[in-house]
Amino acid sequence: ADRGYLSTGQLVPRGQDGAMIEDADYAADRLLQLLETGLMPVIDGDPIPLAAQSICVHGDSPGAVAMAARIRTRLTDQGVHIRGFLTP
């Protein structure tokens, strides 16, 4: 959720502009677009197809807990069901 993607499908290397996403609402918007269209916005071109099985917020990012909470709220408000990895 908090990392940018390149048009190759790779994460933007840390230290490069666009690598880290700090705005929780922007992160949630990207995830909602991914869930609705199967396409992930990238920093260097048109959105790319991406099949995600999970969402990660990096715990070493400033404000990670608040970001995760905001993303969860935004997604559940849109009817997205969130569950743990081990939930059948």
Could you tell me if 25 and 32 are in contact, meaning their C-beta atoms sit under 8 angstroms apart? Answer: no
| Enclosing domain of residue 54 | 1-81
Is 87 inside any structural domain? no
Residues 6+ away with beta carbon under 8 Å from 45: 7
Residues 29-58 have a mean pLDDT of: 94
Is 77 inside any structural domain? yes
Is 40 inside any structural domain? yes
> Is residue 88 predicted with pLDDT exceeding 80?
no
Is 1 inside any structural domain? yes
**Helix, strand, coil percentages in the chain from 3-state DSSP, rounded to 5:** 30, 15, 55
Could you tell me if 29 and 47 are in contact, meaning their C-beta atoms sit under 8 angstroms apart? Answer: no
Is 73 inside any structural domain? yes
Is 56 inside any structural domain? yes
Q: What pLDDT does residue 23 have?
A: 96
Is 48 inside any structural domain? yes
Is 86 inside any structural domain? no
The total number of structural domains that make up the chain: 1
Residues 4-21 have a mean pLDDT of: 96
> Is residue 87 predicted with pLDDT exceeding 80?
no
